[in-house]
């Protein structure tokens, strides 16, 4: 039995088939422990850390950061018994941080993929599973395919692969970028080294030698690595080479730009455009919103509410000894209002299923959250069963987890009703689009001090505007209006609503 094992990208659940490697948390030569996080991967749902399946020493990393890898593809090789002495034949040696090593033919031949080790009981990792799939670290569904790069516009076609073994360890090529003054470099295929050429240092296939941090710097500065002559080891390009090239390009570009401005009209071409790849969370959000907007007939209603009493109730709540260590925001009262209104109008918490409507007896309350990777909607499971204090704790945990980018796919699945708090951006309200599978979403606007008629006199009161979008196949105007009215009544006088409804 081989002591070197390949670790495949596991199925992260929810039918996901691929993930982008965001960051390696280990490097070649590191000694790792069982279940130690080794890599951070971004899927269409979230960014997650994947733990090691074995303890041992890292022998090879097959895919660099930024690579999109399909489920079931080997991503790292681990020596599970490094104390047993050197392997037969040349071994893979550790490379400096940032470089990925090239495994030798002997070491690759000794590598054994974990699921192929003998017979494993059904349901265990590496064993058979229903439907002919294979159980992996999380869920099922690995594919025996190789990693792929997302296609980019104007990318040159890669040459046909040679029959020689694939080099899993090299980091080659660079990404396309556009800046106002420096021409965009051509896109290279990281695997095959296509579109070699240029004056820069190259290996077989015309591939530029540069570490990932240097490539990122070149991308940020708009420098074409292929046009540089490297001063580093083996002719590799260093940070100083890139910075010097950028300084020279700016010096040359400035007089040219001045002359161009004086003699011709402004340019509106690609040199003044930025192209952002659509992937991960942003891609999934776009697909879901498009599908929902053109599938469910949306209706949106609005209600402006005097929430002065609700804001005073929050202040009294914060002053209580048992609540002093809890972050209490207006969103907490809005969430409570929604949960109480659902109990009075359960049809709102339902799903259109073609020939039937599925009414949920549980409320998984979603909270839309803007993150660096895009919009996500994690949800509080069975929120209707929580006390006000438990609901406050759950909302705080949900928000903090989302901000740190650690929301798991499970936290974003199974939502039944959603709140989007657009008020945090200073917006009065909106016409939100329904998350797929839900029949209602509430937009909570900013709370502002405004003139309001109160007890026959115009006074300064705290006011907000609510916007409720709903699926008109399930919720008619009467039901939607009553549901929104109940939410407004609770926010106008929380104490009275609690006494009347509970």
| Residue 445 to residue 307: CA distance in whole angstroms | 12
Q: What 3-state DSSP class applies to 350? A: strand
In the chain, the N- to C-terminal Cα span, in Å, equals: 65
Quickly list DSSP for 417-440: EEEE-GGGGT-----PPPPTT-SE
Say whether 345 is catalytic.
Answer: no
- Work out the widest C-alpha separation in the chain, in whole angstroms: 92
442: Cβ contacts below 8 Å, ≥ 6 apart: 334, 338, 418, 419, 420, 432, 466, 467, 468, 484, 487
Cβ 329 vs Cβ 318: under 8 Å: no
User: H or E element: which one contains 390?
Assistant: helix 388-403
| Residue 224 to residue 35: CA distance in whole angstroms | 40
List the beta strands (DSSP E) in 95-206: 112-113, 202-203
| Residue 67 to residue 45: CA distance in whole angstroms | 17
330-344 helix and 477-492 helix, angle to the nearest 10 degrees:
140
Cα-Cα-Cα-Cα dihedral sign, residues 386, 443, 449, 460: negative
| Residue 167 to residue 103: CA distance in whole angstroms | 7
Kindly name the residue from 63, 188, 454, 472 that is annotated as catalytic.
Answer: 472
494-501 helix and 477-492 helix, angle to the nearest 10 degrees:
120
The alpha carbon of 92 is separated from its chain's Cα centroid by a whole number of angstroms, namely 33
β-bridge partners, 4 = 79
Q: Which residues of 415-441 are buried (b: 16+ CB within 10 A; e: fewer)?
A: bbbbbbbbbeeeebbbebbbbebbbbb
Q: What 3-state DSSP class applies to 101? A: coil
| Residue 381 to residue 293: CA distance in whole angstroms | 25
CA torsion angle for 276, 278, 281, 286 (degrees, to 10)?
120
Helix ranges (H only) for 176-238 are 212-221
Q: Which of 420, 312, 321 is nearest to 366 (CA)?
A: 420
- Side-chain-side CA neighbours of 459 within 13 Å: the count stands at 8
336 phi and psi, to 5 degrees?
A: -65, -40
Active site residues: 472
């Amino acid at each position: 039995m081989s002591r070197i094992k390949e670790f495949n990208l596991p199925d992260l659940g929810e039918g996901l088939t691929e993930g982008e490697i965001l960051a390696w948390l280990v490097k070649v030569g590191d000694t790792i422990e069982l279940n130690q996080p080794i890599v951070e991967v971004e899927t269409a749902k979230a960014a997650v850390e994947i733990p090691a399946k074995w303890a041992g020493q890292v022998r090879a990393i097959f895919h660099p950061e930024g690579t999109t890898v399909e489920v079931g593809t080997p991503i790292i090789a681990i020596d599970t018994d490094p104390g047993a002495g050197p392997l037969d034949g040349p071994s893979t040696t550790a490379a400096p941080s940032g470089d990925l090593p090239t495994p030798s033919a002997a070491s690759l031949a000794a590598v054994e993929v974990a699921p192929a080790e003998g017979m494993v009981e059904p349901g265990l990792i590496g064993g058979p599973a229903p439907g002919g799939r294979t159980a992996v670290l999380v869920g099922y569904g690995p594919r025996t395919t190789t990693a792929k790069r997302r296609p980019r516009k104007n990318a040159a076609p890669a040459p046909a692969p040679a029959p020689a073994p694939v080099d899993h360890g090299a980091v080659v090529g660079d990404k396309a970028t556009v800046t106002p003054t420096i021409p965009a470099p051509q896109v290279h295929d990281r695997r095959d080294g296509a579109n070699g050429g240029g004056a820069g240092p190259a290996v077989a296939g015309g591939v530029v030698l540069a570490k990932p941090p240097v490539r990122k710097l070149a991308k940020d500065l708009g420098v074409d690595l292929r046009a540089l002559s490297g001063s580093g080891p083996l002719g590799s390009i260093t940070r100083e080479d890139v910075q010097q090239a950028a300084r020279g390009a700016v010096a040359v570009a400035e007089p040219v730009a001045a002359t161009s401005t004086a003699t011709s009209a402004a340019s509106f071409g690609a040199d003044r455009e930025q192209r952002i790849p659509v992937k991960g969370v942003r891609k999934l959000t776009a697909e879901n919103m498009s599908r929902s907007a053109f599938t469910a007939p949306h209706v949106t209603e609005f209600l402006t509410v005097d929430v002065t009493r609700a804001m005073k109730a929050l202040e009294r709540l914060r002053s209580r000894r048992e609540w002093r260590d809890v972050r209490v925001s207006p969103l907490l009262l809005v969430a409570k209002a929604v949960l109480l209104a659902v109990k009075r109008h359960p049809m709102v918490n339902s799903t259109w299923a073609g020939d039937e409507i599925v009414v949920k007896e549980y409320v998984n309350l979603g909270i839309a959250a803007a993150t660096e990777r895009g919009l996500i909607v994690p949800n509080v499971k069975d929120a209707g069963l929580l006390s006000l204090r438990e609901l406050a704790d759950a909302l705080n945990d949900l928000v903090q987890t989302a901000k740190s980018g650690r929301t798991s796919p499970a936290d974003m699945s199974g939502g039944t009703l959603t709140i989007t708090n657009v008020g945090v951006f200073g917006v009065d309200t909106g016409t939100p689009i329904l998350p797929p599978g839900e029949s209602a979403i509430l937009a909570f606007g900013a709370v502002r001090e405004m003139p309001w008629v109160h007890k026959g006199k115009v006074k300064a009161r705290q006011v907000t505007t609510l916007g409720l979008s709903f699926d008109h196949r399930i919720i008619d105007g009467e039901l939607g209006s009553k549901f929104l009215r109940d939410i407004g009544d609770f926010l106008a006088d929380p104490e009275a609503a609690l006494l009347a409804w509970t």
